[in-house]
Amino acid sequence: MNKQTIKKILGKLPFTVDLYWQLVQRHKPWKAHYNLDFIDSVLLDAVQQAASFSTSASPNQNKNIFVFSTLHYWIEYAALLSAALAGKGHDVTMSFLPYASWTKPIDDFDLRRQNLYTRQVLKPANSLLRVQSLLDVRPISRSLPQPILDIVEEVSTFDTQYTLQVEDITKEEDIYKLRYERNLLAAQNSRAWLAAHKPDVVIVPNGTIQEMGIVYRVAQYLNIPTVTFEFSDQREHIWLAQNSEIMRHDTSGLWTAKGEKPLDDAQLQRLQELFSAREDARTWKNFARKWQDTPSEGGAAVREKLMLDDRPVILLATNVLGDSLTLDRQTFSKTMAEWIEKTVLFFAERDDIQLIIRVHPGEVLVHGTSMVDVVNNTLGEIPPHIHMVEPEEKLNTYDILEVTDLGLVYTTTVGLEMAMRGIPVVVAGKTHYRGKGFTYDPSSWETYFDKLNAMLEGLDAYRLTDEQIELAWRYAYLFFFEFSKPFPWHLLDLKKDYKSRPMSFVLGKDGRERYGQTFEYIAGKPLEW
């Protein structure tokens, strides 16, 4: 028998991996892609620092908190988050599933070995909080009610779409079968643990995909309050959602609280500076990314490059397929691709206008279905009045906006930015700025095409009013500057961030002033805007 066969057999036998770990593995350096070296190097000190603050925390506000993560980089992050929450006096259970990859199979032997390794690395935290591997949970029964089985199927579908970057799947894909198996295990074990212990709040990253999406939905099924989080475009900031998936960007509470308040001069200037940087392909202050690769050249350059004439210009701005901002965001179309297919067929018959299809520049980094292929397969030969700007083309999207008379979007933020310029925008997907008073939001194919036909009869009449433009600016300010909350550590810069802002600083006076309210929201205190 070869090594893999032996590991497969031993992985199924009780205590064999534990015995191997005690006799062999724990005496050897750990060498694997699944690596917790960073948290191993700082956890003991972080726990000691957090413990020195936990004794002074108010016992009246303590909560029983369950923090879950998977994948080694998220586990490292969750360990620091859990220690900080415990340092604030909460009763914390940090739970995990020890996977290195959500796409690659792993045999039971190596999975159990990674489980023991993780427990060893996290051992210093035991003095401050509980460490619970979901792999170690043994449900009395593995049967699940149908609503949770539906959850497993839904999240496995999202995982497959996210991984393959396609929308139409058959459920016969190898990745779907892998994801279903792992998600089923996560559902069985998290349901058993959460039902038995009933924490006050469950905290998970993302909450849409992978085992984290499963734990979020299982907690919701059990009526346990949840908090999901992800990282915003700003350094030292985080997005938070309570009882919602954070990547759905539910801004309704913020909009209700502050949407009616006009922006003051300082706020307007701040927003103008941000968007000037976005247009010119520059980073700005603590925003960590550029939105364009090509500096602005102006609308005249676009007209020359695309050979546009005086006919009205319609801009269809696409998303990247499989991006978490497009998963389950359909309103009247089955998929985003179907919306694009029917839209370009509609405009293929309208040579009285010019259609620009701006394929998302992010497609240069992906391997799934390209909207270029969707358009080409739909139209065959592209008519001369339709212009496709492919992802790698050096054309600034904001220059295209200068010549645009009408925008069509699924969920991309370009729709919000068009509204800020007074351009009428038709929104086809469930995006956070839909229904805020400055976009057109059809809910069926019939109303969608009726609206397009009406608008094309007289586009000038549909230009946004001053009041609608102001609404769009208000919304943009709130989304970009107030929807995210201050937080000390970012997943991608965790080592550097923790060195700059260690546990003693985060839990100390300055850290409490800067991040204290955010930690309260993470612990389940209702968000206040």
pLDDT at 275: 83
Identical fold for domains 3-253+486-522 and 260-482, yes or no, is yes
Task: Count Cβ neighbours within 10 Å for each residue of 100-109 and write b for 16 or more, e otherwise.
Answer: bebeeebebb
Dihedral class, residue 517 (left if φ above 0, else alpha if ψ from -120 to 50, else beta): alpha
- By the 8 A CB rule, do 396 and 281 touch? yes
The total number of residues written for the chain in this structure:
529
Helix, coil or strand: residue 283: coil
β-strands 237-242, 485-486 pairing: antiparallel
d(CA 449, CA 350): 13
State which amino acid sits at residue 419.
Answer: A
First to last CA, the chain: 63
- By the 8 A CB rule, do 485 and 246 touch? no
- By the 8 A CB rule, do 404 and 446 touch? no
The maximal CA–CA distance of the chain, rounded, in angstroms, is 79
- By the 8 A CB rule, do 286 and 332 touch? no
Place of tokens 């427990």: 119
- Return all residues near 46 (Cβ < 8 A) that are at least 6 apart: 79, 80, 83, 498, 502, 503
Helix, coil or strand: residue 133: strand
User: Domain ranges in the chain?
Assistant: 3-253+486-522, 260-482
> Global pTM?
0.90
pLDDT at 97: 98
Place of tokens 């000037």: 276
User: Can you name the CATH fold of 260-482?
Assistant: Rossmann fold (3.40.50)
d(CA 302, CA 307): 8
- By the 8 A CB rule, do 113 and 151 touch? no
Q: In tens digits, what is the pLDDT along the chain, a chain of 529 residues?
A: 566 665 565 556 566 767 666 766 665 666 678 999 999 999 999 999 999 998 766 666 789 999 999 999 999 999 999 999 999 999 999 999 999 999 999 988 889 989 999 999 999 999 999 999 999 999 989 999 999 999 999 999 999 999 998 888 999 999 999 999 999 999 999 999 999 999 999 999 999 999 999 999 999 999 999 999 999 888 899 999 999 999 999 999 999 999 999 999 999 999 988 888 777 655 545 544 444 456 667 888 899 999 999 999 999 999 987 677 788 899 999 999 999 999 999 999 999 999 999 998 877 777 777 889 999 999 999 999 999 999 888 888 888 999 999 999 999 999 999 999 999 999 999 999 999 999 999 999 999 999 999 999 999 999 999 999 999 999 999 999 999 999 999 999 999 999 999 999 999 999 999 999 999 999 999 999 9
Question: Residue 419 has which token pair?
Answer: 């509204």
d(CA 459, CA 425): 11
d(CA 378, CA 182): 37
Question: Residue 368 has which token pair?
Answer: 């799934």
Task: Count Cβ neighbours within 10 Å for each residue of 143-177 and write b for 16 or more, e otherwise.
Answer: ebeeebeebbebbbbbbbbbbbbbbeeeeeeebbe
CB neighbour class for 525 (10 Å; exposed up to 12, middle 13-18, buried from 19): middle
Question: For residues 289, 292, 293 and 294, what is the CA-based torsion angle, rounded to 10 degrees?
Answer: -140
Chain mean position to CA 217: 16
d(CA 75, CA 81): 10
- By the 8 A CB rule, do 322 and 165 touch? yes
pLDDT at 24: 66
The CATH number of the domain covering residues in 3-253+486-522: 3.40.50
d(CA 136, CA 189): 9
d(CA 307, CA 384): 10
**Dihedral sign from CA coordinates of 276, 280, 285, 288:** positive
Chain mean position to CA 467: 31
Report how far apart, in Å, the C-alpha atoms of 468 and of each of 314, 349, 480, 524 are.
20, 31, 18, 35
pLDDT at 288: 46
